[in-house]
Each structure stands twice: as C-alpha cells, then as structure tokens.
Chains A and B, each alone.
Chain A
Amino acid sequence: MTLKARVIPCLDVKDGRVVKGVSFVNLVDAGDPVDAARAYDAAGADELCFLDITASSDGRETIFDVVARTAEQCFMPLTVGGGVRAIADIRKLLLAGADKVSINSAAVRDPDFVAQAADKFGDQCIVVSLDCKQTAPEKWEIFTHGGRNATGIDALDFAQAMVKRGAGELLVTSMDRDGGKIGYDIALTRAIADRVPVPVIASGGVGTLDHMVEGVKDGRANAVLAASIFHFGTHTIEEAKRHMAAHGIPVRLD
C-alpha cells in the first residue's frame, strides 16, 4: 500500500491541435486534444499533461477552451503548461479546469514569479518545467522558449532554486533525448531527483516500455511522461503499467 508511480501522456498542443515534434521541430498532427484526453481518461492514465506550444498570443487563447472542454468530460488530473507568465494566466487555467500549471520560461526570467504563484495557489499546484541539454559529463544547461534559447544556467542548481521558491513538482525534460526514442536521460533525472524533496517527472526520449521502468527505477522519478509511444498506438497505458508492475513498480490498475 503506497503511492503509485504515475504514467502521464503528454499532449503538445499548437493552435488547439495535438502535435508531436522530434526535438521540438517537424510537427506532426496527432489529432484533437479533447478526443485524445477522453481516450486517455478511459485508458486509465494517471494524469494528463497539455503543453501549449503555440507561438502567438491569439492562438494561445485556444488552450483555455481545450482545457475547459477536456475538464467537462475527464475526471483525471490535468497539468497545463506553455506561455504561463502571470498570476492571471494561472487563475484562468485553474478556472478552466486545470489542476496544476507548469511554468518554464517565466521561471527562468523571474524566479520570484514561482514564489508568488506558490504563495497564491499553493506549492502543490506549481510545476516547474526544466528543458535541459547536456554540456559535459554530469552537467546540464537550462533552455527556454521551446528549447531555442540557451540560458547558461546549470540545471541542477536551477532545480534546487525552484524548489526553494515553492515549486511543488519538477518536470525534467532532456532536450537531447526528446523525440529520439532512446530512453530518458537517466543520469539527469536521477541527479535532480536525488537533490530535491519534491516529486520529479521524467520526460523526453521514451521509445520502449523498458524506458519507463528505467525512469522510475534508475532515474528515481515519481512519474514518467511520454507522448508519441501512446499517441501513435505503439503501446497502451495499460501495457505500460503492466510492464512496470512486472518489474516491481507499484502502479494503479483500477
């Protein structure tokens, strides 16, 4: 009897449609986000993540509608990220039906924004998303703006700083691995998970079910996030969970 490892499908949403990039480019249409959310809800996903990668502020308004329509039908926890810059953005997402919001670029630009958000909405509501690229053995750098901008900030230092500011959870994405289907960056995931007291979500690089097992067992992640492996029907959520259970990882199968 314990807290279960979470399996989280992630939907990258652009202008209201699900897309999945390889290393954040070459976007392929993978369908309507609300349909996808409904399918994952029925399939027993433990949470759902919407990442709004829309560039224009006009297009970004569509995410509120997507979140609202999803929340009407899905009774699963929903994390929404992308373009979250102000307290008002967070409130609007929560009112639309999000349970947690994920902050990326804004956290780098103004770490105190994370503190304000955590004070206002509680630590448990604030996920900080770290896009990391390896620069040397056991060294990673934080990138922002969908991986376009280097910051010179050390990922491990930044992870700890964000937790001090009130981040309740860290979403750790390896930009080197994302879309590559060669597995999570385990060294990165573990380096962060071992340094912070809050849950860590491993992201970027899942190609097989073994990768998800590795994310929890070797990377010490509390949750594993994947996109294309689920979107394109390579594996179901249940297959992933049964595979993890067979390797001794507690999962929820109700």
Chain B
Amino acid sequence: MRVAIIDYGSGNLRSATKAFERAARESGLDHAEIDLTNDAARVASADRIVLPGVGAYADCRAGLDGLPGMREALIEAVEKQAKPFLGICVGMQLMASRGLEKSVTSGFGWVKGDVVKMEPKDAALKVPQIGWNTLTLARPHPLFAGIETGPDGLHAYFVHSYHLAAELPEDVVATSDYGGAVTAFVAHENKAGAQFHPEKSQKLGLALLSNFLTWKP
C-alpha cells in the first residue's frame, strides 16, 4: 500500500510524513509506503491520499493548483475511483465549497459549506484557537474507532482562525467547543478531513492516522 502525502510547498510536511510512518509501524503495516510527493501521477496511482496544509486558504489553493495535473489527479483518484482521502487543517478546509479567508477562494466542493472566521460567543476566548481541546462525536465513524472522545476523552491539537461551516449536518463527524460548536472533523463518503492536527495530537492523532491507513470507506 502506498499513501501519497501531497507536497505543494505548504506547511509541516515532515511532521505529517513522520507521523504516518509511525502510525504504519504501530499498526503492523510495515509494508506501507509513505510517499511525500508533488507528482500528480504518483498521487493518481496511490492507494490513499493525504492533503496537509498550513497557511492562508488562497495561498494553499494557489500552491496546489500550481502543480501540473494535480487537480485532475485528485478528481480521478478521489472523486472517480473513491480512494480514501484525508485532509488536514487547511487541507480539510479545501474540501469545502469556498474559503472566505482574506478573499473568496473556491474549494473542491466535497463538503458543502464555507470556511468562515470563528466568532466565539464568549468574548474572552481568543482567535486563533491554539491548543488542545476535546472532541464531541456527532456520529460514529470508523476513523474514530477505539478513540475516547467527549469531555473526559483524549485531546486534539488545534491551530486555526477559520472553520468549515458545513451545510449538511451529516457531513460533520466531530465538533469541539470553543464558544460554540466548531467543526473539528468532517467526512463525506471516502473523503475525510480534520481541522485539528492529527500529526501533532500525540495519542489521539496516531490512533486516527492508524485508522485511516486501514479505512475501507
């Protein structure tokens, strides 16, 4: 099995790669190849695809579109062949219809809704939300198998000012409470996305990445 992590010059790619390698080792998937690549053909032929992302929405989108054939490779592998996809942070936000950070930028439209600035009801809460928060599962999902959630559950690491306001409640798998419910995890068919950083979320993160490596949507 080969997992393509798309390298479009955005963000903490080494962390994501190393975390996947460790998750593969710990799940006994020693044969799994974690392939950090900017080559559209390698993405199209991968078994699983991960889109990380740190940065401004428009900049990430432009970086991705700057890779020849990458948009088409994603359509082929993720939309047509329905291979398992995981977006992380801005990689997750790119799954939305549009991003409204700094300018209006179109996303992939895999999860209906816009990426909007967070406005916590409690004015004392700071934006960006930076740090560790617990998750509330809106519905069971295979990627959260064996992961303890809820107020006494494990924590996930968030760093974000914007979140995906999903139009369809069924697309939202988990939320975190930050002066109101903030979208923490979305899934639509074979496409999943984490607003938090699983590659930085220690126990919870490694468990989720392991689940992704064996996920059969």
Q: Which A residues are closer than 8 A to B by beta carbons? A: 1-6, 41, 46-47, 68, 71-73, 75-78, 91, 94-100, 118-125, 168-169, 196-200, 222-223, 252, 254
| Size class of the B contact interface (CB-based, 8 Å) | 35 or more
B71 lies within 8 A of chain A by Cβ: no
Q: Which residues of B contact A73 (CB under 8 A)?
A: 18
Q: When the two chains form their complex, are residues A72 and B14 in contact, meaning their CB atoms are under 8 A apart?
A: yes
Contacts of A76 in B (CB 8 A): 157, 200, 202
Indicate whether A124 sits within 8 Å of B159 (C-beta atoms), given known contacts A71-B14, A75-B22, A97-B14.
yes
Taking a contact as CB atoms under 8 Å apart, the answer to whether B200 and A123 are in contact is no
* A77 to chain B: closest residue by CB: B200
Q: B9 at interface (Cβ–Cβ under 8 A)?
A: yes
Q: Which residues of A contact B134 (CB under 8 A)?
A: 1
B155 to chain A: which residues have CB within 8 Å? Answer: 4, 252, 254
Total contacts A-B at CB 8 Å: 131
Q: Closest approach, in angstroms, between the C-beta of B210 and any C-beta of chain A?
A: 13
Known interface pairs A75-B206, A199-B126, A252-B155; 6 further A-B residue pairs with C-beta atoms within 8 A, sorted by A's residue number? A6-B132, A47-B131, A78-B15, A97-B18, A120-B56, A121-B55
State whether A252 touches B13 (Cβ < 8 A): no
Q: Known: A100-B159, A120-B55. Is A3-B128 also a contact (CB below 8 A)?
A: no
B130 near A4 (CB under 8 angstroms)? no
Contact sample, A vs B, 7 pairs, CB 8 Å cutoff: A3-B129, A94-B54, A119-B102, A120-B56, A198-B126, A199-B128, A199-B131
Pick the residue among B126, B151, B177 that contacts A197 (CB under 8 A): B126
Central interface residue in B19, B197, B202, B205, by most chain A CB within 10 Å: B202
With A and B bound together, what is the CA distance between A125 and B132 in angstroms? 16
> B129, A122: Cβ atoms under 8 Å?
no
Q: Among A71, A125, A199, A254, which residue has its beta carbon within 8 angstroms of that of B54? A: A125
Complex Cα gap A96–B12 (Å) = 7
Q: Nearest Cβ distance between residue A93 and chain B, in whole angstroms?
A: 10
Residues of the A chain whose Cβ atoms lie less than 8 Å from the Cβ of B178: 2-3
* Cα of A94 to Cα of B197 in the assembled complex, Å: 14
B112 within 8 A of A: no
Residues of A close to B204: CB separation below 8 A: 254
- Inter-subunit contact A1/B128 (CB<8 Å): no
* B11 contacts A by Cβ under 8 Å: yes
The CA of A120 and the CA of B60, in the complex, are separated in Å by 9
The reply on B183 being an interface residue by CB < 8 A is no
> Chain A residue with minimal CB distance to B203?
A254
With A75-B15, A75-B22 known to touch, is A99 a contact of B128 (CB < 8 Å)? no
CB of B32 closer than 8 Å to a CB of A = no
The CB with the most chain A CB atoms within 10 A, among B14, B22, B125, is that of B14
B133 cross-chain contacts in A, Cβ below 8 A: 1-4
Minimum CB–CB distance from B122 to chain A (whole Å) comes to 10
- Which of A68, A94, A98, A198 contacts B127 (CB under 8 A)? A198
Q: Could you tell me if A46 and B131 are in contact, using CB atoms closer than 8 angstroms? A: yes
Partner of A223, one of B131, B197, B200: B131
How many whole Å from A77's CB to the nearest CB in chain B?
5
- Determine if A99 and B126 form an interchain contact, defined as CB atoms under 8 angstroms apart: no
**Contact across chains for A68 and B14 when beta carbons are under 8 A apart:** yes
The answer on a CB contact under 8 Å between B131 and A122 is no
Q: How far is the CB of A203 from chain B (nearest CB, A)?
A: 15
Supposing A75-B200, A252-B132 touch, asked if A168 and B161 sit within 8 A by C-beta, the answer is yes
Task: Indicate whether B114 reaches chain A with its CB closer than 8 angstroms.
Answer: no
- Closest Cβ of chain B to A2, distance in Å, is 6
- Partner of B55 from the list A71, A122, A222, A254 (CB cut-off 8 Å) is A122
A94 nearest CB across to chain B (Å) = 6
Cβ–Cβ contact A94 & B12, under 8 A = yes
